[in-house]
């Protein structure tokens, strides 16, 4: 059998893969002398003709033929952009700082208003201070040589004519004490820098009921705190105070019953009062007033007690004259008889020698130097 018939002689030969035949050139001999496969027919759509632009239904929008000349569609003319206006420095400031740009001028205005109000208030307080402070040079250094009470009303006004001097309703108090006194134990250091140092004791009349006025220790602490306050007499820089509980003091701050007070201070006007009694160097504080206060203080018993201490101690250190209201609406002088009112028309009936404008009315004030 011949070899072309594929006999046994072909048994040792291998046929190349079909792909190798496709890669071989047309008409070129293949392996083993076999002729190469002829070229097949051309595949439609894969010719070398120029390729056109892809249709709209094709997914890709890239150039179909990168080598082809690109035809550009003319774009419609766009309207010109308006020119941007340049911002002024003020506009840039507001754009940069936002709400803070509005807050700054508001705060500046508020600051100016507060400064003006503070200055006005300071001016008003300065006027009040000059009105409330005791008159310069009015001290009587020989006050302890007096034989009668200092500060007791000298007029003949009656209770009906002095409604502002009537004792307000309130707690109980002792009407009749034993007319003897005991010193409350305790002492303090020097209060104030004044050259003239006054020593004092705190005393309570025997027979007073402690629950009515708070007890000896409470009374003593209140007196100490009042006299050591810079608004008190030490604020003027002339005097200083020191509490003692032995020896002979310069004056004695004493809480007394109404009966004893009337005996020392007098009762011709039939109104509860307090006074300074030089023969015993006794600052006499009426327990009835201490417990109930005065109409002019409108229930502020704490402030009234401060006033009572400062007013009567003022007599003890030489301020023996009472003072009227000097300016309408101002703080009342501490040496005004505020227990009976803060209007000149009310207190001038108790002091016929006083020269003042009867129409003036002050406001209650417990301190000699209220703005210290």
Q: What is the DSSP string of 309-321?
A: HHHHHHHHTT--S
Where do the H-state alpha helices sit in 228-349?
A: 258-265, 287-292, 301-316, 344-347
- pLDDT value at position 86? 67
- pLDDT value at position 317? 97
Q: What are phi and psi of 263, to 5 degrees?
A: -70, -35
Average pLDDT estimate for 41-46: 51
pTM: 0.66
* Strand runs labelled E in the chain: 181-183, 196-205, 239-243, 251-256, 275-277, 282-286
Pick from 22-26, 154-158, 264-268, 338-342 the range whose average pLDDT is largest. 338-342
pLDDT band at 108 (very low <50, low <70, confident <90, very high): confident
Between CA 71 and CA 74 the distance in angstroms is: 10
Q: Which DSSP symbol is given to 58? A: S
Burial (CB count <10 Å: 0-12, 13-18, 19+), residue 168: middle
Tell me whether residue 1 is in a domain.
no
- pLDDT value at position 64? 56
- pLDDT value at position 349? 81
> pLDDT, tens digit, for every residue of 133-174?
676 457 898 999 999 999 877 655 555 468 899 999 999 999
Average pLDDT estimate for 50-67: 59
Tell me whether residue 332 is in a domain.
yes
The answer to whether residue 290 scores a pLDDT higher than 80 is: yes
The answer to whether residue 236 scores a pLDDT higher than 80 is: yes
pLDDT band at 62 (very low <50, low <70, confident <90, very high): low
Name the domain count of the chain.
1
Burial (CB count <10 Å: 0-12, 13-18, 19+), residue 99: exposed
Tell me whether residue 231 is in a domain.
yes
243: containing domain:
133-347
3-state helix, strand and coil shares in percent for the chain, rounded to the nearest 5: 35, 10, 55
DSSP codes, 232-251: SGGGGSSEEEEE-SSS--SE
Q: What is the H or E stretch that residue 14 is in?
A: none
In percent, the amount of the chain with pLDDT more than 90 equals 55
In percent, the amount of the chain with pLDDT more than 70 equals 67
The answer to whether residue 281 scores a pLDDT higher than 50 is: yes
Are the C-beta atoms of residues 194 and 239 closer than 8 Å to each other? yes
Tell me whether residue 116 is in a domain.
no
Among 348, 322, 354, 316, residue whose Cα is nearest residue 335: 322
Tell me whether residue 8 is in a domain.
no
Pick from 43-57, 107-121, 131-145 the range whose average pLDDT is largest. 131-145
Tell me whether residue 87 is in a domain.
no
Between CA 149 and CA 311 the distance in angstroms is: 14
Q: Considering only residues 41 and 292, tell me which one the structure prediction assigns the higher pLDDT.
A: 292
- pLDDT value at position 21? 45
Average pLDDT estimate for 24-32: 48
Between CA 39 and CA 57 the distance in angstroms is: 34
Average pLDDT estimate for 17-34: 47
- pLDDT value at position 57? 62
Q: Considering only residues 241 and 57, tell me which one the structure prediction assigns the higher pLDDT.
A: 241
The answer to whether residue 33 scores a pLDDT higher than 90 is: no
The answer to whether residue 43 scores a pLDDT higher than 60 is: no
pLDDT band at 25 (very low <50, low <70, confident <90, very high): very low
- pLDDT value at position 104? 72
For residues 115-132, one letter each, b for 16 or more C-beta atoms within 10 angstroms of the residue's C-beta and e for the rest, the string is eeeeeeeeeeeeebbebb
Tell me whether residue 268 is in a domain.
yes
pLDDT band at 14 (very low <50, low <70, confident <90, very high): very low
Average pLDDT estimate for 240-249: 98
Q: Considering only residues 73 and 106, tell me which one the structure prediction assigns the higher pLDDT.
A: 106
Between CA 215 and CA 213 the distance in angstroms is: 6
- pLDDT value at position 88? 74
Tell me whether residue 2 is in a domain.
no
Give just the sign of the alpha carbon dihedral 369, 336, 319, 217. negative
Least confident residue range of 27-31, 63-67, 194-198? 27-31
The answer to whether residue 329 scores a pLDDT higher than 80 is: yes
Q: How far is CA 138 from CA 14, 143, 164, 335, 370, in A?
A: 148, 12, 27, 11, 19
Average pLDDT, the chain: 81
Q: Considering only residues 192 and 49, tell me which one the structure prediction assigns the higher pLDDT.
A: 192
The answer to whether residue 333 scores a pLDDT higher than 50 is: yes
């Amino acid at each position: 059998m011949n070899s072309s018939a594929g006999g046994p002689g072909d048994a040792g030969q291998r046929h190349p893969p079909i792909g190798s035949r496709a890669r071989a050139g047309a008409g070129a001999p293949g392996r083993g002398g076999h002729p190469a496969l002829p070229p097949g027919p051309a595949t439609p759509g894969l010719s070398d003709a120029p390729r056109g632009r892809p249709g709209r239904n094709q997914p890709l929008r890239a150039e179909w033929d990168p080598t082809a000349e690109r035809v550009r569609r003319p774009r419609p003319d766009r309207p010109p952009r308006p020119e941007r206006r340049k911002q002024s420095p003020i506009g840039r400031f507001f754009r940069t700082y936002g709400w803070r740009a509005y807050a700054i001028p508001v705060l500046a205005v508020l600051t100016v208003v507060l400064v003006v109000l503070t200055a006005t208030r300071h001016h008003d307080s300065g006027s009040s201070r000059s009105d409330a402070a005791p008159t310069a040079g009015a001290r009587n250094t020989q006050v302890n040589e007096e034989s009668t009470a200092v500060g007791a009303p000298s007029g003949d006004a009656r209770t009906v004519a002095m409604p502002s001097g009537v004792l307000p309703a309130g707690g109980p108090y002792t009407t009749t004490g034993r007319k003897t006194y005991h010193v409350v134990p305790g002492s303090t250091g020097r209060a104030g820098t004044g050259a003239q140092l006054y020593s004092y004791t705190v005393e309570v009349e025997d027979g007073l009921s402690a629950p009515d006025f708070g007890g000896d220790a409470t009374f003593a602490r209140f007196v100490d705190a009042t006299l050591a306050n810079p608004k008190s007499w030490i604020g003027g820089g002339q005097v200083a105070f020191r509490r003692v509980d032995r020896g002979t003091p310069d004056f004695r701050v004493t809480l007394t019953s109404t009966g004893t007070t009337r005996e020392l201070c007098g009762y011709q006007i039939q109104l509860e009062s307090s006074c300074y009694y030089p023969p015993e160097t006794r600052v006499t504080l009426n327990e009835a007033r201490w417990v109930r206060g005065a109409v002019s203080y409108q229930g502020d018993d704490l402030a009234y007690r401060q006033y009572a201490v400062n007013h009567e101690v003022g007599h003890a250190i030489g301020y023996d004259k009472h003072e009227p209201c000097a300016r309408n609406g101002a703080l009342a002088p501490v040496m005004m008889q505020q227990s009976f009112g803060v209007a000149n028309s009310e207190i001038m009936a108790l002091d016929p020698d006083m020269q003042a404008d009867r129409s003036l009315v002050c406001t209650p004030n417990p301190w000699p130097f209220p703005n210290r």
